[in-house]
A and B are shown apart, each in its own frame.
Chain A
């Protein structure tokens, strides 16, 4: 009888040992590598500077801009209304509540879009929603919004309309004073007719 117990015990101990040989699991992630690759291929995460400028001017409360550059760079210049989280601090628990917001569109930007895309990649793996990258970053922001170049004379009307918006946005974001940057509008000529003078009537 006791022999049988020993065999059973050995069997259980053996299977317990087997459990320790299970393959080690990597860090848990709410997104699989395959799903992440599909997200990587989706270019809709890149937002144009015009689109962001428009939403900023309209004071869209669902837009949240995150500047991922260093603090001193942020203090030198930042897009009005943006918030600074340096890239290496991005996933610290202190900032989680800022990035993990369901009702907000989180837009990352850096000097260009490479670091911002890295920030997107890191936060995407945490399973956060509504993450975007500003296409071209601050360099593009300055090229299009702060120092826009006028289109060719032969460009389509849409290009001129875009340029008019850029000039207006430029004033809004402090790239130029209103007097200088205003789009030249042809002044209406007001013709004032002089009253014909009546020939002086003579009298004696």
Chain B
């Protein structure tokens, strides 16, 4: 009798344990997005990923394995955009419908190229997507502004899309300034006004 009671209790305990597990398992909600790359790893990935240069982009626009995504706002997109580019403004980047697009492109192993007004605008959205596991994503160096310049033939130095290159000789300028040289365009020499003293009159009077 005692033995039977104990078995009963064990059975009930086991079943309730399994039921709790089953409920937990089925109500488990998987978040829509999860970071796949930790920021520590991303610091190194930043150096490894090869981004798309504006010159390459001119060719890749007609490549069917490359998708261009315009992350600027819809007005900028309507005004001017790359051929065949798809508009996904940054704020809507993680929407459900856009997630399915990114998933689809990744499954089809297409290369996705994000571009913004300039490189800065696309950098953080690109990092976000890359860290969420969309490693087929790259960004367009120089951005739309540079592509327009390139298109209009307004480019003389072919490396100007690299905004991180120093535009000034920092150390040189400071060294020149501290040695007393003027780094600022010298102001026009002042006209010297010669003031003539009036001649003293000879003392008058006297006898």
Residue ranges of A at the interface with B (Cβ–Cβ < 8 Å): 1, 4-5, 8, 11-12, 15, 18-19, 22-23, 25-27, 29, 32-34, 36-37, 40-41, 76-77, 87-91, 110-115, 117-118, 120-123, 125-126, 137-139, 142-143, 146-147, 170, 174-177, 180-181, 184, 197, 199-204
Q: In the complex the two chains form, is A175's CB within 8 Å of B35's CB?
A: no
Residue of B nearest to A140 (CB): B167
Given contacts A114-B163, A138-B166, A147-B173, contact A88 B43 (CB under 8 A): yes
Which A residues lie within 8 Å of B127 (CB)? 118, 121
Q: Given A15-B17, A40-B125, A91-B40, are A26 and B180 also a contact pair (CB < 8 Å)?
A: no
CB-nearest residue of chain A to B122: A114
Which chain B residues lie closer than 8 Å to A126 at the CB level? 39
Q: Which residues of B contact A118 (CB under 8 A)?
A: 46, 123-124, 127
* B interface residues, Cβ below 8 angstroms from A: 3, 7, 10-11, 14-15, 17-18, 21-22, 25, 28, 30-31, 33-40, 42-44, 46-47, 90-91, 93-94, 119-120, 123-125, 127-128, 131-132, 163-168, 170-171, 173-174, 177-178, 180, 182-184, 186-187, 200-201, 203-207
Report whether over half of chain A's contact residues are helix, strand or loop; otherwise say mixed.
Answer: helix
Given contacts A200-B206, A202-B204, 6 further A-B contacts (CB under 8 A): A26-B36, A89-B43, A113-B163, A139-B168, A199-B204, A202-B205
Task: Report yes or no: B43 in contact with A87, Cβ–Cβ below 8 A.
Answer: yes
